[in-house]
């Protein structure tokens, strides 16, 4: 479905909140939006498997259009709908906080660009390595500059104060790596030598720059993950954890917005 470009008759709408109470979470998990969103995350997960951040990838012409004009003129009607997700992705200006819900809004923004054909599935590596990685760099700068509060953080029991997706895609990059194993990401030397190639190690480096004290104390969940024997098991475990701790948590999903591209209606088969 990511490859499909909606017809000229597509009625774009401004996305709005639909999850107002905990029982509404059932609507979310049955929705087309949930199916499309998690499908997009998993497609990108496959696309970056075993590849470095410096991997040479082709970018389709449509992605070039995105850089120069954001959305081509024939899809101008989609701009207000798609733009909502971009606006939601940089944190809350009142609370000065940021968390996995904002990160999900940016992934939803990229998913919508795929659904209208501005980005293509062929661009999956560029979506993660170029666009999403640049987004991470900007958000890290904001976190450092403004000391943003983690939104909905579980503290020491959470994976990370701010991000989740780069750990999923970053662990996929490292699957079948010839010498880097999960135990190496708590090794300062291994991180310093390899972080420019691997998103997961960039995340670890940022955590160690932002936090003081023993790693096992300030990032207990990650410390536990370092004992997992293979990156494929880490990757599978993180996908399950993302669904349970982010996508199935009301405090996160109550802020998610639904429109014509990521609709709340139940998933349609076929």
Q: Which residue in this structure is represented by tokens 């939006």?
A: 33
Residue that wins the pLDDT comparison between 99 and 91? 99
What single string gives the DSSP state of each residue in 42-60?
HHHHHHTTT--TT------
Q: Quick check: helix, strand or coil at residue 232? A: helix
Q: pTM score, two decimals?
A: 0.90
Question: Six-digit token pair at 146?
Answer: 């403004």
Do 112 and 118 form a contact (C-beta atoms < 8 A)? no
The predicted pLDDT at position 259 comes to 97
DSSP state, residue 236 = H
CA distances from 101 to 63, 106, 208, 245 (A): 25, 9, 23, 11
DSSP state, residue 92 = B
Q: Is 182 exposed, middle or buried (0-12, 13-18, 19+ CB in 10 A)?
A: buried
Q: Which residue in this structure is represented by tokens 């490292």?
A: 174
Whole-angstrom Cα distance, residue 163 to residue 186?
18
Alpha helices in the chain (DSSP H): 25-30, 32-47, 61-69, 79-87, 100-115, 124-126, 133-146, 165-173, 188-194, 199-210, 215-218, 220-225, 231-242, 250-253
What single string gives the DSSP state of each residue in 26-45?
HHHHHBHHHHHHHHHHHHHH
Question: Six-digit token pair at 243?
Answer: 């669904």
Question: In this model, does residue 7 exceed pLDDT 70?
Answer: no
Of 102-111, 157-166, 190-199, which range is least confident?
Answer: 157-166
Whole-angstrom Cα distance, residue 48 to residue 58?
13
Whole-angstrom Cα distance, residue 30 to residue 1?
17
Instruction: Please name the residues in contact with 247: beta carbons below 8 A apart, sequence gap of 6 or more.
Output: 34, 37, 38, 104, 253
Whole-angstrom Cα distance, residue 50 to residue 133?
16
Question: Six-digit token pair at 84?
Answer: 């909502």
Q: pLDDT digits over 168-220, tens only?
A: 999 999 999 999 999 999 999 999 999 999 999 999 999 999 888 899 888 89
The predicted pLDDT at position 106 comes to 94
- Quick one: average pLDDT of 51-70? 71
């Amino acid at each position: 479905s990511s490859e499909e470009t909606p017809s000229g008759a597509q009625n774009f709408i401004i996305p709005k909140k639909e999850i107002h109470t905990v029982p509404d979470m059932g609507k979310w998990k049955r929705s087309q939006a949930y199916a499309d969103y998690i499908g997009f995350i998993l497609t990108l997960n496959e696309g970056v498997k075993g590849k470095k951040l410096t991997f040479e990838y082709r970018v389709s012409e449509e992605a070039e259009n995105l850089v120069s004009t954001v959305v081509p003129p024939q899809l101008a009607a989609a701009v207000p709908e798609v733009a909502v997700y971009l606006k939601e992705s940089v944190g809350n200006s009142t609370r000065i906080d940021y968390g996995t819900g904002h990160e999900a809004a940016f992934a939803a923004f990229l998913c919508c660009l795929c659904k209208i054909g501005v980005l293509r599935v062929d661009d999956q590596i560029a979506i993660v390595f170029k666009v999403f990685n640049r987004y991470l760099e900007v958000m890290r700068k904001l976190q450092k500059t403004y000391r943003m509060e983690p939104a909905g953080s579980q503290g020491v029991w959470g994976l990370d104060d701010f991000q989740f997706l780069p750990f999923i895609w970053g662990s996929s990059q490292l699957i079948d790596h010839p010498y880097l194993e999960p135990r190496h990401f708590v090794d300062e030397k291994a991180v310093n030598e390899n972080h420019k190639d691997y998103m997961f190690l960039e995340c670890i480096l940022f955590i160690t720059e932002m936090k003081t004290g023993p790693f096992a104390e300030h990032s207990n969940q990650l410390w536990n993950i370092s004992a997992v024997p293979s990156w494929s098991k880490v990757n599978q475990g993180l996908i399950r954890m993302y669904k349970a701790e982010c996508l199935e948590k009301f405090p996160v999903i109550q802020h998610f917005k639904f429109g014509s591209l990521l609709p709340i209606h139940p998933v349609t088969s076929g």
